[in-house]
Amino acid sequence: MMHSVRWLSLAQASKVLGQLVSVVVLSRLLPPSAYGVMALAGVVLTFASLLRDMGTGAAIIQRKSLTPALANTVFWLNAGMGVSLGLVLAAAAYPISIFFREPQLFPVMLLMSLGFPLGAITAVHQAWMERHARFRELAILDVFTQVGGLCLSVACALAGWGVYSFVVPTLFTIGVNSTWLWFKSGFKPGRSWSREEFRSLWGFSGSLTAFNFINYFARNADSMIIGRLLGAGPLGQYGMAYKLMLFPVQHMSWVVGRALLPRLSGIQDDLGAVRDVYFKVLGGIALLSMPIMVGLWSLRVPFTEVVLGPTWAIVAPLLGWLAPVGIMQSLMSTIGSTLTSQGRTAALFYLGLFNTATVLLGFFLGAQHGVVGVAAGYFVANSVNFIVTLVCMGRWLQATPGPLWRQMKAPVLSSLAMGLALYAAGLALGHTELPLKLQLGMLIAVGAAVYLGVLGLFGLSPKTLLSTLKGKA
């Protein structure tokens, strides 16, 4: 697993760097409304993506023995769904643009629908490579498409292409990925279709797909509400804050989560070993995500002014609510892989059902107070879900709080100390006339020094962080 994580870390590091450059550069070249239009398109495209895959990729990875009949059945199922969804999205593009009262959404949806057939026909190819732990090759592919997509995005923005600065790189990435996976994965689909294998998929993939659908509404209801009621501009500003919050969820925790499923599937019959790996993974995620989110929360005002500019001023109060959510979601992000490895997709479904109901309630109550209210409702709902999820996972894994706290103690206390130090240093620098950029740089240095210093009291060092990033801890 650790070898896999190292290569996945390389791929995700390129994505983190790319997104940071994208945030800094594109936020000054494109208006919030462009981000909003793409966020609205993302609401629809994410839903369609769930229909395209239906948990079949995870089934390929999780099976103890993979037969050619199963792989071929999954391939043709995905291919049929991909072509069908591409046609449905193209036909629905205009009505969807009318519903959200955003004319630009129509051509964007038409173009993005082209990616569904391409992505669908190589879904099994990617799962095949992940099953065989060929993460080195996947990492190289990810780095190449990330760098190429970023260059295209900046070039399109400089050329004045607006929202298409996001569309063109997306289609480029899908096209390159699909072509490479088709020829290099080693999987060659046959013409066979097995009804027996198709039926066997339903018990596993059915509950997993249901969970993914429920989780979809928890993740996207805010965009639907803001986009429909407030428009693309406020949605773009909210989306920027949400993107910053998702950094640890989509990157650091994603690296571990992607390698976690094949690892835990291999030891699924040893609950004690599964529990130990799960706790160590949570500790590693906390070691990285907690200081980033605590730092972002503490420095949200100067960060927004320096990095994003005055157009994005509302991002600061949004981050006040969303940064803590980033910590909670990064820690909860491995639940899907853990329960899936145990074949407990039904439990995953019911947990997702509760979490989604809580989040939707928070969104609807918060929407009465504008875009910041939506963020506040999201924070409250995630706090409830976080507690419930921890209790449920403890019961399912037959775990006690002690071993988990031993893994979490160092990052939790170190991050709290860093937050207090940043608050005190911010008050002191606020009485000076130093440029805001210099103040931000000094505060980042203070935060890093305090965090690493307190970690040292627990016997951890900067080398520990580097090892965690490489997947060795």
Instruction: For residue range 340-360, list pLDDT tens digits in order.
Output: 777 787 888 888 889 889 998
pLDDT of 468 strictly over 60: no
Q: Are 171 and 111 in contact (CB under 8 A)?
A: yes
Percent of the chain with pLDDT strictly greater than 70: 85
Whole-angstrom Cα distance, residue 354 to residue 417? 34
Rg (C-alpha) for the chain, rounded Å, is: 22
pLDDT at 158: 92
Least confident interval from 42-51, 83-92, 140-149, 308-317: 42-51
For 73, the token pair is: 């059945």
Question: Of the spans 15-24, 251-260, 266-275, which averages the highest pLDDT?
Answer: 266-275
pLDDT of 15 strictly over 80: no
Whole-angstrom Cα distance, residue 344 to residue 338? 9
3-state secondary structure at position 139: helix
pLDDT at 337: 77
pLDDT at 273: 84
Q: Which amino acid is at 471?
A: G
Rounded average pLDDT over 386-402: 90
For 31, the token pair is: 């208006």
Rounded average pLDDT over 250-273: 68
pLDDT at 418: 97
pLDDT at 441: 95
For 410, the token pair is: 């160092």
pLDDT at 367: 86
3-state secondary structure at position 471: coil
pLDDT at 431: 87
Task: Give 56's pLDDT tier (boundaries 50, 70, 90).
Answer: low
Task: Give 209's pLDDT tier (boundaries 50, 70, 90).
Answer: low
For 95, the token pair is: 């009505």
Q: Are 60 and 124 in contact (CB under 8 A)?
A: yes
Task: Give 51's pLDDT tier (boundaries 50, 70, 90).
Answer: low
Q: Are 349 and 212 in contact (CB under 8 A)?
A: no
Whole-angstrom Cα distance, residue 118 to residue 140? 20
Whole-angstrom Cα distance, residue 254 to residue 249? 6
> What does the mean pLDDT of the chain come to?
84
pLDDT of 472 strictly over 50: no
pLDDT at 205: 61
For 442, the token pair is: 């000094």
Task: Give 54's pLDDT tier (boundaries 50, 70, 90).
Answer: low
The pTM score is 0.73
pLDDT at 470: 52
Taking CA 318 as the corner, what is the angle to CA 31 and CA 299, rounded to the nearest 5 degrees?
100
Return the exposure string of 101-117: e unless at least 16 CB atoms fall within 10 Å of the residue's CB, then b: ebebbeebbbbbbbbbb
Rounded average pLDDT over 323-342: 85
Largest CA distance in the chain: 73
Whole-angstrom Cα distance, residue 93 to residue 91? 6
Whole-angstrom Cα distance, residue 263 to residue 258? 9
Q: Which residues contact 200 (CB under 8 A, 6 or more apart)?
A: 70
Rounded average pLDDT over 444-464: 88
pLDDT at 231: 84
Least confident interval from 341-350, 360-369, 388-397, 453-462: 341-350
Rounded average pLDDT over 279-291: 87
